[in-house]
Amino acid sequence: MRVTWTAEGAVMRLVFRLDAEDSITGFCADGQPLKLATNSFRVELPRGPHDVHPDLLALAAWTVVAPWTRRAVTFDRPISPGLALALQEGWGIEAGPVGGAPRSGRRLAISYSGGADSVAVAAMLPDAPFVHFQRVSHPRVPNRWTHYRSDVLARLAERTGRELTVVRSDLEFTLAEPRPGYPEHHAVAAGALLLADELDLGGLAFGYELGSRWLGGDRYLLRYTPDNPMWAPHGAWGRAFAAAGLHIVLPVGGVSEAVTMRLALGSKLREQVRWCLRGVDGPCGTCGKCLYKELIQAAVERRPLRTTVGPKRPVARKWQEPPPYGGQEMIEYGCARVPGVEGTVFGRAAGFLGATEASTAWLDRCYPPAIEEIPEPWRKEIHDFMATEVGFMSRDQARRVETWGMS
């Protein structure tokens, strides 16, 4: 893989070319097969052009091209030996040319999406600036996904009143299958990487929570993953980001989506919380994500489920089938707490899971190792917040995390 950045004012463009051994089908760090759509994208920064450290340029490119790189990656500027080593050890990829000095920064920014998880992070770190990634159409790929209202999310981010940088990019359209999206989960940080020098960033906080970091949630393994390659600090991606002087920080990595939901809905940014990608004046209430989040919200608010989605709808189909489910811990949590859940679309899942409030109580507490792995400069603030607002898991509760998906 060979990558070339060019800057046109504040717009950074990247073109990449496959080496002989690279191919159209590659794999995300979570194992998902991905098909390449096209080999160029742009990132529009609010100001520019900037003099960006070569390691940041290289890592931003790597968040997109990694799935399709088999043997070697050639950047257009020499990278630091540390980053080359991280790519070598994390992926077995030969990266070069090597020759630069490493970089570092001091501030912590939040990769802010506007969902409950990142709002919870924002509530924990009231002084941290936001970097928001906004999807825009790619000039070469027809946009068949206009229901994705990234403009609405960007507007909501502006209404938070926080220090905010919106980065617009079409990099998601480099991915053809399964659908446009981040080739690697870390591509959401492409803008933050390119801005890291200007904002003096030494860390980037993501809203990835307990399920994503420790329980192998979403499309990943669905079991306890202390060595998660995406989010563990000693995993491939954690080390690559650290080598580029922008540490991955997961302030809510130790708590479940029930806790992030509670923190988000209790925060000053409550009005700006939006997990739905489709709704304009509010969440659409009909997509799969709305349904899933409604279960969690109903559980947190201890009220019956409010939804118009019936069991026959495609978004509700998977809950009619037996587990495992992605995000299963939250389905258990919801089914154990929502009054009258038997009569809802989650009724069958509730029957399969047989969860109780006692069996899901661990999801209301923070998993202590998640705090220990937060980089030192920001650990105390996050630790103190967790101690006062959430509380830590007991030894037995922590064992629930550590045996997840094993029985």
Partner 1 sequence: MVRLRKRALLPAGLRRAVRGWFDARYISRADHRQDIKDALWEVQTLGREVTALRAEVDKLREQVAKTGPEQAQVRRWDDAHRLAQETAVAMDQVLQNEVLLWQAVDRQATDGQSVDRQGADRQGTDRQSVDRQGADRQGTDRQSVDRQGADRQAADRQAVDRSSRSLA
Spatial distance between the Cα atoms of 87 and 85, rounded to a whole number of angstroms: 5
Among 32, 40, 134, 286, interactor with partner 1 by CB under 8 A:
40
| Shortest Å, Cβ 81 to partner 1 | 17
Residue 342 touches partner 1, criterion: CB under 8 A? no
Q: Which residues are 3's β-sheet partners? A: 16
Residue 159 touches partner 1, criterion: CB under 8 A? no
Specify the pairing of strand 175-177 against strand 33-36.
antiparallel
In whole angstroms, what separates CA 378 from the centre of its chain? 19
Judged by CB under 8 A, which stretch of 133-141, 218-226, 299-307, 321-329 contacts partner 1?
133-141
| Shortest Å, Cβ 86 to partner 1 | 21
Residue 35 touches partner 1, criterion: CB under 8 A? yes
- Neighbour-count burial for 245-268, b at 16+ CB within 10 Å, e otherwise: bbbbbbbbbbbbbbbbbbbbbebe
Residue 94 touches partner 1, criterion: CB under 8 A? no
Residue 394 touches partner 1, criterion: CB under 8 A? no
What kind and span of H or E run contains 33? strand 33-36
Residue 76 touches partner 1, criterion: CB under 8 A? yes
| Shortest Å, Cβ 188 to partner 1 | 23
Q: Which is closer to partner 1, CB of 144 or CB of 302?
A: 144
Q: Which is closer to partner 1, CB of 76 or CB of 389?
A: 76
What kind and span of H or E run contains 118? helix 116-124
Q: Which residues are 25's β-sheet partners? A: 35
Residue 172 touches partner 1, criterion: CB under 8 A? no
164 CB-side CA count, 13 A: 19
Residue 137 touches partner 1, criterion: CB under 8 A? no
Residue 36 touches partner 1, criterion: CB under 8 A? yes
Residue 406 touches partner 1, criterion: CB under 8 A? no
Among 106, 140, 234, 306, interactor with partner 1 by CB under 8 A:
140
Backbone angles phi, psi at 165, to 5 degrees: -125, 120
Among 51, 127, 142, 302, interactor with partner 1 by CB under 8 A:
142
Written as six digits, the tokens of 261 are 């939901």
Residue 387 touches partner 1, criterion: CB under 8 A? no
Number of shown-chain residues binding partner 1 (CB under 8 A) = 27
Q: Which is closer to partner 1, CB of 139 or CB of 324?
A: 139
Please provide the size of the chain in residues.
Answer: 407
Residue 284 touches partner 1, criterion: CB under 8 A? no
Q: Within a 10 A sphere around the Cβ of 288, how many other Cβ atoms?
A: 15
Beta strands across the sheet bearing 107-111: 94-98, 72-79, 2-8, 11-17, 40-44, 164-169, 130-135, 107-111, 201-205, 247-249
Spatial distance between the Cα atoms of 281 and 258, rounded to a whole number of angstroms: 24
Judged by CB under 8 A, which stretch of 33-41, 44-52, 272-280, 283-291 contacts partner 1?
33-41
| Shortest Å, Cβ 13 to partner 1 | 7
Residues that bind partner 1 (CB under 8 A): 2, 4, 6, 8, 13, 15, 17-20, 22, 24, 35-40, 74, 76, 97, 139-142, 144, 176
